[in-house]
Amino acid sequence: MIGFVERRLLQALLVLLGVSVVVFTLVRLTPGDPARVALGKRATETQVEEARRRMGLDRPLPLQYLVFLRRVVLEGDLGRSYRTARPVLSDFAERLPATFELASAALALALALGVPAGVVAGVRRGGWLDHACQVGALVGVSMPVFWLGYLLILALGGVLDYAGRISDRTVFAFQTHFYLAEALARGAWPVAADCLRHLALPALALSTIPMAVVARITRSAVAEVAVRDFVRTARAKGLPARAVVLRHVLPNALIPVVTIAGLQFGYLLGGAVLTETVFSWPGLGTYTYDAIANKDLPAIQGVVLLFAVVFVAVNTAVDLAYAALDPRVRHGVR
């Protein structure tokens, strides 16, 4: 009998295979000829046909997919970008750290503000703080990220930098593409401060939706745990209200919060396209935008597959962690 871990890993592989089929097919069914886009409007038909042959676009679609799948699985090769003329994995190695730093900062803001707001709203359920938290969460979920980004630029653009990851005047020999982490690790505090000034506005804009989701999930979990018998017993013993919340309510309410936090991180990595475009953040979001605009098939496929792998991996890890915390999940008990 297949165990819980093996079943989840098998499901993850099947999901990734399905994503690869859908992405490969849809990208090639969109209007436009990638060979002509790569060569330009002045290219002759002979040049276009030669480019199509060189790119493998003259083969039947199923054969193209099998060649693509073989390269990805056996060689770890996502192809060469039509636009940059570099391996897609090399582009990812430069762009992914920027998106990872942005998503991590946004998630940290979402948890730092969303969890306390949800705890207060859940403990004071029905009060004005609860209503204020729910209204704020609704506004956070409903507000378009690009619109909020422009508002933040207008309001705080004179105080904080909002274009790129670092100022042109800053001279520092980075050895990795994790600018903020490397500056902190090497003790380059002025460089780290410059990175933070550029990171603050896009991270704040990107954090609004996960912050609202975390706050609402935390509120629901805290409100549910707060009425259980062991919490009533703790209150009957005369424990202070803060001790009851911190020792008894919050630890038991954090399981769904941890789950949703992991899922939100996957969404942040894949959903930063608009934020990165507004703030000229050189991450995978702007890379995706440029790839779509230029019909760069290998880049588009690679980006979508990367986001799918990250999201499925995070989702699987969260499920395994949830199963470790709650044995009922491993044994299928409801």
- DSSP annotation string for 206-237: HHHHHHHHHHHHHHHHHHHHTTSHHHHHHHHT
CB 208 within 8 A of CB 145: yes
pLDDT classification of 109: cutoffs 50, 70, 90: very high
Is the pTM for the entire model greater than 0.85? no
Residues 6+ apart with CB under 8 A from 228: 252
The fraction of the chain above a pLDDT of 90, given in percent, is: 6
Establish if 5 belongs to a structural domain.
no
Q: Is the pLDDT of residue 5 over 60?
A: yes
Q: What CATH number should be reported for the domain holding residue 173?
A: 1.10.3720.10
Which pLDDT does position 1 carry in this prediction? Answer: 43
R_g (Cα) of the chain, nearest Å: 24
Establish if 149 belongs to a structural domain.
yes
Q: Residues 210, 286: one domain?
A: yes
Establish if 91 belongs to a structural domain.
no
Q: Residues 49, 160: one domain?
A: no
Q: Is the pLDDT of residue 318 over 60?
A: yes
Q: Residues 107, 69: one domain?
A: no
Q: Which of 55-59, 187-191, 256-260, 312-316 has the highest mean pLDDT?
A: 187-191
Establish if 63 belongs to a structural domain.
yes
Establish if 82 belongs to a structural domain.
no
Q: Residues 128, 163: one domain?
A: yes
CB 111 within 8 A of CB 119: no
Rounded Cα distance, 318 and 270, in Å: 17
pLDDT classification of 271: cutoffs 50, 70, 90: low
Establish if 80 belongs to a structural domain.
no
Q: Residues 58, 103: one domain?
A: no
Q: Residues 235, 312: one domain?
A: yes
Q: Residues 46, 100: one domain?
A: no
Tens of pLDDT, residue by residue over 133-163, are 888 888 878 888 888 888 888 888 778 887 8
The fraction of the chain above a pLDDT of 70, given in percent, is: 93
Structural domains counted in the chain: 2
- Within 84-225, where are the H helices? 88-123, 128-142, 145-156, 179-185, 189-225
User: Domain range for residue 159?
Assistant: 96-330
